[in-house]
Structure 1
Amino acid sequence: MALMIPRRLALGAALAAPFVRTAAAQQTLEWVAGSVGGGWYTIAAGLSSLIAEDNPDLRIRVVPGGGVANSTRVNNNQSPLGWGIDTFTAAAAKGEEPYSQKHENLRSLGTGYSPTEHNLIRVTGQGPEDMRGILTQRGLKIACPQRSSTDETTLQRILRFYGTSPDAIRNGGGRYLNGSYTDIAAAFADGQVDYLYAALAKPAAILTEIGQGRRNARLVEFPDEVRKHLIDAFAYAEGVIPAGTYPTLQDRDVKVTTMDTVLMVHASVSDDVAYRITRTLIRNRGQRLVQIHASMASWDPATSWRYSGVPLHPGAARAFREVGAMPAA
């Protein structure tokens, strides 16, 4: 004998059931990126939409962050996903400067997502043109991103190499400003500072804007001594901003210090979630990623998984192995 269910009750259950299933399946993750207006924030926002498109039950909320602080934020699971810089992420895992303790909960979904160049911009027509002369001059007025960013930490390392510091700049009658990328670009455009330091993947929007602005400006080459010091002491890399990248800021290739981007996750992120995020990135490599940001053109799964600064998440390893980018276990 069939069990009779009142029509009103059955209709209510039918309407409620899809909502319950959707709510149970929905998962929201926070991704700590970089400053609003910077490449990291733009790329994370674009990738979060791509991941949601491929995985309707995953939602990613992007929040501002900084390359130095992001490792600690992900390690503490305040944000289970985050951008990191290869050398800083490895230092965090080991508890080395600028970190005071080992970050043992960090895992990666690979590296190479957005190679990042360090840039020093100077206004033309006044003052020294070389890095040493610029950074050691009395009355220097320079802007860089906020503290806890890899940009600012690297600038401080260069200043220390040259025997100076932010306090020495201020005490010498100069100006050392910190702010978002938008803030420091505005400070340069308005003449509050004559120099700007920022680590940004090319082509960087704020550098393009500066090149089109009313103040004539140029990129400053990183001298051999600085590039060698940062490589030997802190495991940075070196590269070139090719001529024509910023037509009004350069007339030739410019040698610079570089870093690379790691996608960090907390160890508690499930294998399934890590697998699906990595799978989406692999599936969309090439033109789809380039549409989000040109710096992702060179991302290659065959080398991405090789980063050894922190352990590769097992879910990511599954995705890399599935397409033959990584050898079988």
Structure 2
Amino acid sequence: MNKTIVIAIIFGFVFLTACEKDNEQEAKGAVQSEATFHTTIVGGRVGGAWSVFAEGIAESIRREHEGAIITVEPGGIVENPLTVATGTVPYGLSYAMTSYAAYSGDEPYDQPYEDIRSVSVVIPANYYQFIVAADVYYDSFEEMIKQKAPIRLAVDQKGAAGEIITRNILEAYGISYGDIISWGGSIDYLSGSKTFEMMADNRIDASGDAVSAPSSDIIEASTLMRLKMLELNGKVIERVSEKLGMDAGTINATAYPFLEEDVATVSTPAILIAHKDVPEEDVYQMTKAIYENFDYLRTVHKEFNSLSEDNMMKVGNVPLHPGAEKFFREKGMLP
């Protein structure tokens, strides 16, 4: 056989073998890429409800993508938008109102963080709840202000979402923390559990925060003392909603045994946010996983019971990530 032909045959065999190996490795890589979804979600404090919410979302992804590696890290409502906006982690949970405050540079943030994008509602409503001891002599904000009640008020930590809402509600009624102090009252920056402990000891008269309804802290407190809840008037709801990017809300009388009628207030959903540079396909798959796992999520925490196709895209004023928008449009959930 001609020497040149032999060399050509050998070269061709080696070339085909190399191509087959390359194709095989490429196919394996494609399968591995398709099977592996690797990301991080920042949630709430360890053992708290928000860490459970984040883990529920993470498990939804694992159920849809075999081999997915989803890490859930602790965080906070105010801190998480910064963590996401600066690219420290790709995903996080926060209130819609807090995410928008970060996006637009409003309190408690010192500048706009415009790299935040919204993905999906996680918990559709967190209601502002102003709880007072049942034996106080006023039944409304208007009475409290008219009588210049020396209220001992507990608010969340300074700059936290609940504290900002409380302060803005008081301002919408025309008063400030300083006014309350001038009436002989006090302002204490406390967490929910500590607040109700002090209320049971008659050291605190009232507390305001945005939490789920029913709230486990409030239910537990109601077993130790008599409570009542003050509602907001229409003008205050309108002003606070417009200023903070919140919504009007109603707490159903069935939420707590001490309520005799529905309570008008403001609310904000908890949402999943992402950095704008997270790939569109990744966010699409994240959104799809939440949508496909409503039934599972309802077994994770009762707060997921109200999450549905009708409200998961109602994320507030932070722009949707293109991946989430693509999914919602495909499902006909957006025009």
TM-score (normalizing by structure 2):
0.77
Query: Matched residue pairs, number?
Result: 301
Provide the residue aligned with 1:90 in structure 2.
Answer: 100
2:214 to 203, 207, 211: 203
Write the letter of the residue equivalent to 2:93: W
Provide the residue aligned with 1:273 in structure 2.
Answer: 282
Provide the residue aligned with 2:244 in structure 1.
Answer: 234
Provide the residue aligned with 1:57 in structure 2.
Answer: 68
Shift of 1:202: 1.8
Write the letter of the residue equivalent to 1:311: P
2: CA distance, partners of 1:322 / 1:274: 14
2:306 to 287, 291, 298: 298
Q: Deviations over 1:246-301 (max 9, x none)?
A: 11x2011111112222211112323343233222211112x322233333333234
- Deviates further, 191-200 or 227-236: 227-236
1: CA distance, partners of 2:143 / 2:55: 39
Shift of 1:38: 5.8
Q: Is the 8 A contact 2:42 2:80 kept in 1?
A: no
Write the letter of the residue equivalent to 1:268: D
1: CA distance, partners of 2:154 / 2:43: 23
Provide the residue aligned with 1:148 in structure 2.
Answer: 159
2: CA distance, partners of 1:161 / 1:252: 24
Q: Which runs of 5+ in 2 are unaligned?
A: 1-31
Shift of 1:122: 0.8
Write the letter of the residue equivalent to 1:207: I
Shift of 1:323: 4.4
Shift of 1:153: 0.4
Provide the residue aligned with 2:272 in structure 1.
Answer: 263
Provide the residue aligned with 2:38 in structure 1.
Answer: 27
TM-score (normalizing by structure 1):
0.78
1:191 equivalenced with 2:199 (yes/no): no
In angstroms, what is the RMSD of aligned CA positions?
A: 3.0
1: CA distance, partners of 2:177 / 2:46: 24
1:80 equivalenced with 2:98 (yes/no): no
Provide the residue aligned with 1:220 in structure 2.
Answer: 230
Provide the residue aligned with 2:5 in structure 1.
Answer: none
2: CA distance, partners of 1:235 / 1:44: 23
Provide the residue aligned with 2:130 in structure 1.
Answer: 120
2: CA distance, partners of 1:288 / 1:217: 34
Q: Deviations over 1:224-257 (max 9, x none)?
A: 232132134334221211122111x201111111
Q: Is the 8 A contact 2:84 2:92 kept in 1?
A: yes
- SS of 1:113's equivalent in the other structure is strand
- SS of 1:90's equivalent in the other structure is helix
Structure whose alpha-carbon radius of gyration is higher: 2
Provide the residue aligned with 1:15 in structure 2.
Answer: none
Identical positions, percent: 24
Q: Which runs of 5+ in 1 are unaligned?
A: 1-20
